[in-house]
Amino acid sequence: MVTKRTRRSVLFMLPAILTLLLPALAAEQAAPAYQPVQQYDPKRDAAADIDAAVAEAKRSGRHVLIEVGGEWCGWCHRLDDYLKAKRKLNALLERNFVMVKVNYSPENENEEVLSRYPEVAGYPHFFVLDGQGKLLHSQDTAKLEEGKSYHARRFKRFLNRWGPPKPEPARRKRWR
């Protein structure tokens, strides 16, 4: 049975409860959404960018695709144009990977962060990390090229192979 006294107690406690909960709710809403690094910028902190991408990959169940290159790199721009034109391939990439571009140029070779990974033979170059930041694969993108562009099936195979594992399909029960 709810009495006047119970109602007054609840009304008295409500401001105190809200005072405790509002800062937590505000902090949760204030946390900025992950912003993918889509430019080769020598001024960026590549280590922090990779850490943020790993955190987002862990949160979203994806892998990280690090693309090493530079504004000077013609094949890097071809890759960007290719992915813009191939919508299904780009959708597959975005569904399975958190993308982060790491600059390599005379202004900033990002030696410290790139020393964590195998040597890069050419540009652009991919490194695939899991949601814990563990290196899964190093990929020379020349193997994905065809002529003056990229090969759609090879690229799709790469994305499917190194994306996160697919969930097991639900098995139907057999009725006897």
Distance CA 57, CA 132 (A): 8
Determine whether 54 is exposed, middle or buried from the number of CB atoms within 10 Å of its CB (0-12, 13-18, 19+). Answer: buried
176 residues of the chain, pLDDT tens digit each: 656 665 566 556 656 655 665 565 555 555 568 888 899 999 999 999 999 999 999 999 999 999 999 999 999 999 999 999 999 999 999 999 999 999 999 999 999 999 999 999 999 999 999 999 999 999 999 999 999 999 999 999 999 999 999 877 766 666 66
Quote the pLDDT of residue 132.
Answer: 97
Closest residue by Cα to residue 65 from 34, 37, 33, 86: 37
Residues 69 and 124: beta-carbon distance below 8 Å:
yes
Tell me what pLDDT residue 74 has: 96
Q: What is the pTM of this model?
A: 0.78
Q: Has residue 172 been placed in a domain?
A: no
Asked whether residue 129 is assigned to any structural domain, the reply reads yes
| pLDDT value of position 12 | 62
**Residues near 58 by beta carbon (within 8 Å), at least 6 away in sequence:** 131, 132
Of 63, 85, 84, 74, which is closest to residue 40 (Cα–Cα)?
74
Burial class of residue 7 in the structure, from the number of CB atoms within 10 Å of its CB (0-12 exposed, 13-18 middle, 19+ buried):
exposed
CA pair distance 150, 147, nearest whole angstrom: 7
Residue 101 lies in a domain: yes
- Tell me which residue range forms the domain holding 135: 46-162
User: How many domains does the chain fold into?
Assistant: 1
Question: Does a structural domain hold residue 98?
Answer: yes
CATH number at residue 56: 3.40.30.10
- Could you tell me if residue 10 is inside a domain? no
Q: What single-letter DSSP state applies at residue 73? A: -
Q: Does residue 154 form part of some domain?
A: yes
Residue 88 lies in a domain: yes
* Domain contains 167: no
